[in-house]
Each structure stands twice: as structure tokens, then as C-alpha cells.
Amino acid sequence: MFMNLLKTILEAPDKNILIRAKMGDLDAFERILSFYEKAIFNYCLRILKNTDNAKDATQETFIKVYTHRKSIDPEKNIKTWIFTIATNTAYDFIRVKKRRNEKSIDEKDETIEGIATYYPEEGLISDVEQALDRINLDYKNALLLFYQQGFEYKEIAEILEIPINTVKTRISRGKEQLKEILKDYGAN
Amino acid sequence: MEQIEKHLKNLSLIETPVSIHQSVMRKINYKRVQPVLLTALCLLVFNFVLIVWRINTKLVEAEFIDMINDFFEVLSFNSLFVSTVLNSFFEIVSLQLTLSVFVSLTGAIYVGRKMSIYKFA
């Protein structure tokens, strides 16, 4: 745990890397990419529930990061900015998919077994993970950012472009929904 | 609720497919090269236009449209000539024979290249 934390701190892109990336240095950008790609891919996968779409969304996110590199503020946390782009990109994917009249991504009828197809190596998937796929997308998003990615309320508010109180409400309601679904699991 | 929070903090993470990293870097490299390619293409087009204009103005009594017509006439004559030669060729020599010659030649070149790579003691 401590080693992981230390590794994260040591490998995190520092101010110098961010300045270089802003100037268009490809090596610096690659370091940012290497550091955040796993988090972004897993986040997109949880939202989009499809490996191919998650791959595309991750790629598009980092291409947008590179294209808009001039907006990088070395004084600020770049993770928040990258997640803002990733969230918007993932939502764009959902919108496009809905427009194409394909099966909606956040529909309630999405089978709970679906998670096993995009987390095939994980073996037994916990009830919480399965239940997470069945709750409202906005609530799920807030829960993922808060618990999985470790963002603070203020940062989540910035990423989702909503007030802090709404973030708190979404997290609380998300947990309530999870609890309700898990009760059903227990009943079955 | 605490159990739920504990699970949420430890959600499964899967490794990123390698193709994502490579694909992003390839696209970004392309983005960087794109202006250079565009400039090169523009220069080529500019050169072509300049040469055409130069020929058009300098050639005595040669109209540009006439030159284009002449070009297409020669081109059609050439293609007709080539197709006639090819047809006559395949009438004399069968297609299978030509293919076998081609395959043999390719094989000979391949073997020759391989032999030149190996150093015989």
C-alpha cells in the first residue's frame, strides 16, 4: 500500500513535465499518457461498458489532451483536467450511440452479467461491481470519481461541471441505489 | 454502507491494452507531421502550376488547351499500343507460362538475396 503510494508520488508528472508537455515535447506527453492511461481506460470502461468504445474514448481523450496542450496549467492538478476531457468524451460516445439508435449504454436492461465480458480476467466479480452497472449513470460517475479515483468533492464538481452540493447528493443517492440493488441480490 | 464504500474503493482495474498507447502516439506523430506534409504538397502543386504556366507562356504559338489535347491523344495512342502488344504477346505465349517465369524469377532473386546475406565459411 505504502510502496504503491510512494510509486504514484514519484512517477506522477511533475511541474517540469507539464511545462515541457505544454511546449509540445513528445517525451513529456508520453509520460503523462503512460501515467494516466490505465485510470482513464478503466474509467471509460466503467461508463461505456464496452471494451472497444472504452479504447476509442481513451485514445480520443489523449489526442484531445495533446491538441489542447496549451491549456495545461502546470500549477494545477492535470488529473482533474484529463478526467474532465475523458468524461465529456465518454458522454459524447453515449450520445452518438443513442443517436444511432443502437442499444442504449445506460439502459436499465443492460444485463448484469455484461460486466464479465469486459472484466474477463477478474474471475469472480463482486456484487457491488455488478450493482454499480445498474445504477443511474450520473450517480455511478460521481461514485467512480470519488471512490475509485480519489477525487475531492470540489474536483468532481469541476470535472462534471456541477455544484458541489449536487456532487454530494449524487454520491449519497448512488450509494442508496447500490444498497437497494444489493438488497435484491440478497433476497435472491 | 461501509462495506459498499470499501468495495467501491477497491474496484477491479484491468491493464490497458498496449494498442492504445501505440495508437495515440502514432496519431499524435501524424498530427505533428501533417503540416509538413501539407506544406510539401502545396509546394509540389505550386511547382506544377509554375512549370505549366512557364511552358504555356514560353512555348511559341502553343496554346495550353491544345497541349492538353495533344497529351491525351498521345496517352490514348500509347495505351492502345500497349494493350495491342500485350494481347499479341499473350496470344503467342500462354498466361501460365508467363506466370511461371515470373514466379521463377522472383524465387531466383529471393534465393540470391538470401545467399548474399549468409556468409559461407
Q: What is the pLDDT of residues A109-121, one digit of tens each?
A: 444 345 555 555 5
Contact A75, A18 (CB under 8 A): no
Tell me whether residue B103 is exposed, middle or buried, using C-beta atoms within 10 angstroms of its C-beta: 0 to 12, 13 to 18, 19 or more: exposed
Within this chain, do residues A130 and A100 fall inside the same structural domain, yes or no?
A: no
> Are A63 and B27 in contact (CB < 8 Å)?
yes
Residue A69 shares a structural domain with residue A146: no
Nearest CA in chain A to B2: A175
Judge if A96 and A12 occupy the same domain: yes
| A21 and A90 inside one domain | yes
Closest partner CB to A147 (pick from B5, B20, B25): B5
For the residues A81-106, what does the mean pLDDT come to?
82
pLDDT of residue A4: 56
Q: Is the ipTM of this complex over 0.85?
A: no
Task: Assess whether A45 and A80 both reside in one domain.
Answer: yes
Residue A123 — very low, low, confident or very high, per pLDDT cuts 50/70/90?
very low
Q: Taking CB atoms and an 8 Å limit, are A128 and B15 in contact across chains?
A: no
Residues of A in contact with B15 (CB under 8 A): 38
pLDDT reported for residue A41: 93
Same domain, A60 and A14: yes
Position A33 in a domain: yes
Same-domain status, A96 and A148? no
Query: Containing domain of residue A9, as a range?
Result: 1-105
Chain B touched by A38 (CB under 8 Å): yes
C-alpha A45/C-alpha A129 separation (Å) is 13
Asked if residue A54 and residue A7 are part of one domain, the reply reads yes
DSSP conformation letters of chain A: -HHHHHHHHHHS--HHHHHHHHTT-HHHHHHHHHHHHHHHHHHHHHHH--HHHHHHHHHHHHHHHHHTGGG--TTS-HHHHHHHHHHHHHHHHHHHHHHTT---TT-TTS-TTHHHHHSGGG-SPPHHHHHHTTS-HHHHHHHIIIIIS---HHHHHHHHTS-HHHHHHHHHHHHHHHHHHHHHHHH-
Number of domains into which chain A is organized:
2
Calpha distance A85→A136 (Å, rounded): 21
pLDDT, position A125:
57
Confidence of residue A178 (pLDDT cuts 50, 70, 90): confident
Are A89 and A129 in the same domain?
A: no
Distance from CA of B54 to the nearest CA of A (A): 41
Chain A residues close to B11, C-beta within 8 Å: 46, 129, 132, 144, 147-148
Pick the closest to residue A29 from A41, A21, A37 (CA basis): A21
Q: pLDDT digit string (tens) for A19-64?
A: 888 888 888 989 999 999 999 999 999 999 888 899 999 999 999 9
Last residue of a domain, one of A41, A76, A105: A105
Q: Flag residues of chain B having pLDDT under 70.
A: 58-62, 116-121
CATH number for the domain spanning A187: value is: 1.10.10.10
Report the pLDDT value the prediction gives residue A154, as an integer from 0 to 100: 92
Where does a domain end: A105, A132, A166? A105
Q: What is the mean pLDDT of chain A?
A: 81
Place of cell 521463377: B104
Output the pLDDT for position A108. Answer: 45
- State yes or no: pLDDT of A14 exceeds 70: yes
Do residue A93 and residue A175 come from a single domain?
no
Reported confidence tier of residue A134, pLDDT bands at 50, 70, 90: confident
**What confidence score (pLDDT) does residue B110 get?**
84
Inter-chain residue contact A66 with B12, CB threshold 8 Å: no
Indicate if A157 and A93 belong to the same structural domain. no
Q: Which of A53, A78, A105 is the last residue of a domain?
A: A105
Distance from CA of B26 to the nearest CA of A (A): 10
